[in-house]
């Protein structure tokens, strides 16, 4: 593209961003003008303009909202695939959907699910596939899966149910074999799965709901991932509030990790489950917010980021080595952990939520008092979740000895939980105990090879210990893992740091080491 093609005035971008906000509800402040420019660079040739300035002038040269709506297909991102976020869908299939199904089986035998911001349909169709696998008597159920998006082009593709190989990355072959028919270079969705989903155009910011949107109201489950980030903070809170109004009491709201901080309604209670972010609507529980991890930055001094490069030699090409099972995960090393009864879980929920709420408010001493009573009352009948929260609270008060003690107790409660080993490592690092830090991180990455934060931390600790070979290895593994994320996705256990940002940091450090 020529310079003349890409030239546009700041005043034009300002007017265009205002028009988009007024007509579409999407938020493009000055910091996002590069995204707006890129959208215009795609729109201009498609609409027959020889420059983005003339294209922008056309969009803003009328009061007709239908014209600005044509920009939607170039502004929103349709990057998705089937069963995106494997942990989430596994948790839904193994725990959360069975709970809902068991309740509904006793009365209405109906399920209502909404995929808000469904893009090209992979998400709602994945949910349909999960339900078809869970319910052998599906024909006897009244199942509604509503899928909405602001982008008409995306919806048109979704309704066809035809997908390329790119939509099936990380999808088990048996799912593709059982639910799709191969036709040339594409796969066609099974008609029975396809008819389970209803698609309709809808703007979460501008269109009214729940009362005027078909099927919405008393939803059991709402997916709204990587959607509200397109809106202003004020609009985000409004959207979350409306979504909550659409949920039945006990219903679940699923958002992306990067959007969890926008969920501030007092009746949306965070559900603590490893590796996923969801909230349960409860009209009786007190307000609580997501658990904040220990400061990720305590493990490494962040260098200046480098610009993305198309010829980056480090990204996406590393194949993780075969790992040998260490002694600490041999079966004989464990004592079976008592299974928590449903009755105990019901009784114990409120004290833990109270402690979590106090922690989130920065009232760590009060949180510790509540949580100590909680774990003392329940003896061994609790998971490592409360123990790890105690550890974090003590750490944030600077009481590292106590923090380490509770971190180790959380590990003993669930030796196969990688995040507990990672937590112990962060505290040991704060105490300057590098060798023990490295040992804990090695356990974490063995238990969860996809925990990029642990690979990154292990690389940095190894670098401090002058083991450049091991450091380089784990930097590269981290990059390989991050290749499975979209650049905007928040990386688990990093306080919301995006995958793109972490890739920049690692690449910068690798280049620095290479030139040293």
Q: For 212-225, what is each residue's pLDDT tens digit?
A: 565 566 899 999 99
- CATH at residue 383: 1.25.40.10
Indicate whether 302 belongs to any domain. Answer: no
Together in a domain, 217 and 90: yes
CA–CA separation, 367 and 372 (whole Å): 8
- CATH at residue 252: 3.40.50.150
Together in a domain, 274 and 380: no
pLDDT value of residue 253: 97
Q: Is the confidence at residue 31, as pLDDT, over 70?
A: yes
Report the side by side order of strands in the sheet with 278-281. Answer: 197-201, 142-149, 110-116, 219-223, 247-254, 278-281, 268-271
- CATH at residue 37: 1.10.155
CA–CA separation, 316 and 215 (whole Å): 42
Specify the pairing of strand 110-116 against strand 142-149.
Answer: parallel
pLDDT value of residue 128: 96
Together in a domain, 211 and 177: yes
Task: Name which of 168-177, 244-253, 279-288 the model is least confident about.
Answer: 279-288
Number of domains in the chain: 4
Together in a domain, 195 and 127: yes
Q: Which of 283, 307, 332 is the last residue of a domain?
A: 283
Q: What is the mean pLDDT of residues 180-198?
A: 94
Using CB atoms within 10 Å of the CB of residue 351, give its burial: 0 to 12 exposed, 13 to 18 middle, 19+ buried. middle
Q: Which of 263, 283, 303 is the last residue of a domain?
A: 283
Indicate whether 133 belongs to any domain. Answer: yes
pLDDT value of residue 495: 62
- Is 22 or 81 the better-scoring residue by pLDDT? 81
CA–CA separation, 174 and 133 (whole Å): 12
Indicate whether 166 belongs to any domain. Answer: yes
CA–CA separation, 209 and 207 (whole Å): 7
Q: For 332-379, what is each residue's pLDDT tens digit?
A: 333 343 444 444 444 434 577 888 888 877 788 888 998 888 787 655
Range of the domain at 381: 349-414
Computed over every residue of the chain, the mean pLDDT equals 80
Q: Which of 283, 305, 329 is the last residue of a domain?
A: 283
Indicate whether 205 belongs to any domain. Answer: yes
Here the tokens at position 489 are 């996705």
- Among candidates 194, 177, 73, which has minimal Cα distance to 122? 194
Task: Name which of 83-87, 159-163, 205-209, 339-343 the model is least confident about.
Answer: 339-343
């Amino acid at each position: 593209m020529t310079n003349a093609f890409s030239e546009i005035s700041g005043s034009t971008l300002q007017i265009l961003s205002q028009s988009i906000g007024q007509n579409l509800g999407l938020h493009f402040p000055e910091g996002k003008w590069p995204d707006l420019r890129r959208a215009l660079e795609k729109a201009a040739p498609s609409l027959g303009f020889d420059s983005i300035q003339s294209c922008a002038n056309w969009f803003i040269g009328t009061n007709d909202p239908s014209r600005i709506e044509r920009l939607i297909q170039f502004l929103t991102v349709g990057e998705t695939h089937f069963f995106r976020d494997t942990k989430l869908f596994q948790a839904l299939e193994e725990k959360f959907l069975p709970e809902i199904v068991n309740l509904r089986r006793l009365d209405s035998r109906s399920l209502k699910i909404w995929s808000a911001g469904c893009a090209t349909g992979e998400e709602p169709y994945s949910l349909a596939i999960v339900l078809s696998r869970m319910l052998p008597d599906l024909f006897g159920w009244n199942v509604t899966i509503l899928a909405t998006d602001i982008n008409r082009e995306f919806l048109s593709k979704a309704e066809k149910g035809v997908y390329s190989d790119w939509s099936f990355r990380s999808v088990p072959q048996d799912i593709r074999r059982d639910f799709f028919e191969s036709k040339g270079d594409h796969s066609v969705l099974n008609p029975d799965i396809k008819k389970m989903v209803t698609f309709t155009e809808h703007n979460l910011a501008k269109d009214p709901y729940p009362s005027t949107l078909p099927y919405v109201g008393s939803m059991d489950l709402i997916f709204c991932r990587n959607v509200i980030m397109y809106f202003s903070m004020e609009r985000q809170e409004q959207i979350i509030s409306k979504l909550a109004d659409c949920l039945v009491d006990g219903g679940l709201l699923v958002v992306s990790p990067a959007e969890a901080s926008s969920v501030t309604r007092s009746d949306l209670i965070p559900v603590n489950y490893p590796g996923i972010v969801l909230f349960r609507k409860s009209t009786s529980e007190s307000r609580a917010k997501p658990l904040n991890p220990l400061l990720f930055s305590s493990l490494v001094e962040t260098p200046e980021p480098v610009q993305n490069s198309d010829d980056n030699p480090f990204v996406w090409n590393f194949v993780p080595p075969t790992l040998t099972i260490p002694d600490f995960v041999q079966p004989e090393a464990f004592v079976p952990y008592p299974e928590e009864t449903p009755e105990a879980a019901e009784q114990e929920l409120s004290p833990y939520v109270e402690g979590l709420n106090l922690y989130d408010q920065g009232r760590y001493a009060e949180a510790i008092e509540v949580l100590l009573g909680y774990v003392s009352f329940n003896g061994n009948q609790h998971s490592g979740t409360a123990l790890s929260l105690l550890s974090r609270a003590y750490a944030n008060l600077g009481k590292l000895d106590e923090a380490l003690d509770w971190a180790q107790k959380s590990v003993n409660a669930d030796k196969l939980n990688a995040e507990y080993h990672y937590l112990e490592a962060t505290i040991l690092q704060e105490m300057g105990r590098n060798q023990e830090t490295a040992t804990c991180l090695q356990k974490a990455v063995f238990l969860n090879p996809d925990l990029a934060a642990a690979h990154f931390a292990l690389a940095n600790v190894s670098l401090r210990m002058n083991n450049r070979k091991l450091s380089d290895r784990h930097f590269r593994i981290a990059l390989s893992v991050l290749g499975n994320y979209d650049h905007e996705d928040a990386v688990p256990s990093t306080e919301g740091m995006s995958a793109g940002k972490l890739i920049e940091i690692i690449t910068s450090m690798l280049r620095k080491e290479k030139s040293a």
